[in-house]
Structure 1
Amino acid sequence: MQQPTPRAKPRTRWMMIVVIAVLAVSALYVGRLRLSHIPDRAIGHAPTAPQVGVPRTKTIEYRVTGPAGARATVSYLVPGSGVTDEQVTLPWRTTLTTQDFTVAVGVLAQVHATGDASCAIRVNGTDRDVERNGNSEPVVNCAVPTA
């Protein structure tokens, strides 16, 4: 009796050749894709992030009133600069602007006359503090800790 010759070896050889050929073609294809300039819509096309905490301009108005034409010593806070002292004639008013997120504002006035005196601080058009005093040579003080 004759033994049949094994045919498994030629099949194994062909399968190995086919697998290697498929891997080589796949590697070439993937390599070309990686080197090509295909636009990626996820990169550079996203909308810009919204700006959080953008400072807005604040308008601060200081007012001191008293007997018309009376002299007064006024001290007030200037955002970012400190305290400013002035000799003024009543009624007096000044307006400042700032873009600080928070700012302490205040005005102190000593009126050199007899009669009623008042001070007021207005931030963005809203009265934040109003004080009155009617003594002789009155002193008025208005303050807003956080405007």
Structure 2
Amino acid sequence: MRLFSLLYGVVVRNVDRRVPAPLRPFWTSPTGPQTVFFWGPVFKWSVVLAGLGDVLNRQPHLISKKQTLVLALSGVLWSRWSMVIRPRNYNYMACNAVMSASQVVLLWRSISNDLVKVWQDFRSPRGVEPNSTVPLSKQDH
């Protein structure tokens, strides 16, 4: 691990000399690229993008309600935490807020899919397939 720290220090010192003046406030900010407060959220966005991919592609019956609920609540919790800590980390807050929102959409899709199935089961007569060609009067006898 010491090797990575040394390598990171060399990269930061070399880039520091080349940062243009308009970007210098961002570069030297407490949540800028020289700190973990920048790189943590940058890499967490990959988790968020995976969740957004699930929103677009995952079939509702494959969505885990427990996992989705935990991720949604985790996003709310860490969004709040990012505004309490110093320095405030708006990138981290946005990352967690988007994660929470995407998980709420997934949870809604899963629950609504289950409700549609329950409604279809409730509406169909017991023991009869919805596309059955046998008249109901013959099934009763």
Shared fold, TM over 0.5: no
Q: Which has the larger radius of gyration?
A: 1
More strand by share: 1
Higher RCO (CA < 8 A, seq sep 6+): 2
